[in-house]
Amino acid sequence: MKVVINGAGAAGIACLELLKAMGLPHDNAVLCDSKGPIYIGREDNINQWKSAHAIQTKERTLADAVKGSDIFLGLSVKGALTPEMIKTMNKNPIILPWQILILKLILKLQKN
Protein backbone atom coordinates (compact mmCIF):
# COMPACT_ATOMS: atom_id res chain seq x y z
CA MET A 1 0.00 0.00 0.00
CA LYS A 2 1.30 3.44 -0.93
CA VAL A 3 0.08 6.53 0.91
CA VAL A 4 0.65 10.11 -0.25
CA ILE A 5 0.20 12.94 2.23
CA ASN A 6 0.08 16.37 0.64
CA GLY A 7 0.81 18.91 3.33
CA ALA A 8 3.89 18.67 5.52
CA GLY A 9 2.67 20.95 8.29
CA ALA A 10 1.66 19.86 11.77
CA ALA A 11 -1.49 18.05 10.61
CA GLY A 12 0.21 16.18 7.77
CA ILE A 13 3.14 15.07 9.88
CA ALA A 14 0.83 14.03 12.75
CA CYS A 15 -1.29 11.93 10.37
CA LEU A 16 1.83 10.32 8.92
CA GLU A 17 3.22 9.50 12.36
CA LEU A 18 -0.12 7.99 13.37
CA LEU A 19 -0.19 5.80 10.24
CA LYS A 20 3.37 4.65 10.91
CA ALA A 21 2.49 3.90 14.55
CA MET A 22 -0.33 1.68 13.23
CA GLY A 23 2.13 -0.26 11.08
CA LEU A 24 2.54 1.58 7.78
CA PRO A 25 6.14 0.99 6.64
CA HIS A 26 8.28 4.14 6.41
CA ASP A 27 8.99 3.64 2.69
CA ASN A 28 5.29 3.22 1.83
CA ALA A 29 4.48 6.83 2.69
CA VAL A 30 5.36 9.88 0.63
CA LEU A 31 5.12 13.19 2.45
CA CYS A 32 4.82 16.18 0.11
CA ASP A 33 5.03 19.90 0.69
CA SER A 34 4.78 22.85 -1.70
CA LYS A 35 8.09 21.82 -3.30
CA GLY A 36 7.10 18.18 -3.86
CA PRO A 37 8.02 14.91 -2.13
CA ILE A 38 10.31 14.92 0.90
CA TYR A 39 13.18 12.72 -0.27
CA ILE A 40 16.61 11.85 1.09
CA GLY A 41 19.06 14.47 -0.11
CA ARG A 42 16.53 17.23 -0.69
CA GLU A 43 17.82 20.49 0.73
CA ASP A 44 15.21 23.16 -0.01
CA ASN A 45 12.45 23.95 2.49
CA ILE A 46 13.41 21.09 4.83
CA ASN A 47 13.27 21.11 8.61
CA GLN A 48 13.88 18.44 11.25
CA TRP A 49 10.25 17.28 11.24
CA LYS A 50 10.09 16.86 7.47
CA SER A 51 13.53 15.26 7.18
CA ALA A 52 12.51 12.57 9.69
CA HIS A 53 10.08 11.30 7.04
CA ALA A 54 12.34 11.59 4.00
CA ILE A 55 12.40 8.50 1.79
CA GLN A 56 14.61 7.23 -1.01
CA THR A 57 12.67 8.00 -4.21
CA LYS A 58 13.08 9.43 -7.69
CA GLU A 59 9.69 11.17 -7.41
CA ARG A 60 10.09 14.94 -7.57
CA THR A 61 6.54 16.25 -8.00
CA LEU A 62 3.16 15.59 -6.41
CA ALA A 63 2.04 14.07 -9.71
CA ASP A 64 4.99 11.66 -9.60
CA ALA A 65 4.20 10.70 -6.01
CA VAL A 66 0.52 10.04 -6.69
CA LYS A 67 1.22 7.54 -9.51
CA GLY A 68 0.44 4.05 -8.27
CA SER A 69 -0.72 5.22 -4.85
CA ASP A 70 -3.66 3.77 -2.93
CA ILE A 71 -4.46 6.56 -0.48
CA PHE A 72 -4.20 10.34 -0.77
CA LEU A 73 -4.53 12.64 2.24
CA GLY A 74 -5.06 16.25 1.19
CA LEU A 75 -3.88 18.54 3.97
CA SER A 76 -2.67 21.39 1.82
CA VAL A 77 -4.27 23.72 -0.70
CA LYS A 78 -7.56 22.97 -2.42
CA GLY A 79 -7.18 21.64 -5.94
CA ALA A 80 -3.65 20.24 -5.56
CA LEU A 81 -4.86 16.80 -6.65
CA THR A 82 -6.14 17.01 -10.22
CA PRO A 83 -8.48 14.60 -12.03
CA GLU A 84 -5.53 13.63 -14.24
CA MET A 85 -3.52 12.64 -11.16
CA ILE A 86 -6.40 10.56 -9.80
CA LYS A 87 -6.41 8.53 -13.02
CA THR A 88 -2.79 7.49 -12.31
CA MET A 89 -3.62 6.12 -8.86
CA ASN A 90 -4.27 2.43 -8.24
CA LYS A 91 -7.77 1.04 -8.74
CA ASN A 92 -10.35 2.22 -6.18
CA PRO A 93 -8.14 4.75 -4.40
CA ILE A 94 -9.09 6.34 -1.11
CA ILE A 95 -8.98 10.13 -1.36
CA LEU A 96 -9.44 12.22 1.78
CA PRO A 97 -9.62 15.94 0.90
CA TRP A 98 -9.33 17.17 4.47
CA GLN A 99 -8.25 20.65 3.45
CA ILE A 100 -11.79 21.29 2.18
CA LEU A 101 -13.37 19.88 5.35
CA ILE A 102 -11.09 21.98 7.55
CA LEU A 103 -11.92 25.10 5.54
CA LYS A 104 -15.65 24.43 5.90
CA LEU A 105 -15.24 23.95 9.66
CA ILE A 106 -13.32 27.22 10.01
CA LEU A 107 -15.96 29.10 8.02
CA LYS A 108 -18.73 27.59 10.15
CA LEU A 109 -16.93 28.55 13.36
CA GLN A 110 -16.44 32.10 12.11
CA LYS A 111 -20.18 32.46 11.54
CA ASN A 112 -20.92 31.56 15.17
Q: What is the pLDDT of residues 2-14, one digit of tens each?
A: 999 999 999 999 9
Q: What is the pLDDT of residue 103?
A: 64
- Specify the higher pLDDT residue, 105 or 33: 33
**Which CA distances in Å does 5 have to 15, 36, 110, 112?**
8, 11, 27, 31
Q: Is the pLDDT of residue 77 over 90?
A: no
Q: What is the pTM of this model?
A: 0.88
- Specify the higher pLDDT residue, 107 or 82: 82
Q: Is the pLDDT of residue 72 over 90?
A: yes
Q: Which helix (H) or strand (E) holds 85?
A: helix 83-87
User: Minimal CA–CA distance to 6: which of 110, 95, 108, 84?
Assistant: 95
Question: Which domains does the chain carry?
Answer: 3-111 (3.40.50.720)
User: Minimal CA–CA distance to 45: which of 54, 61, 33, 56?
Assistant: 33
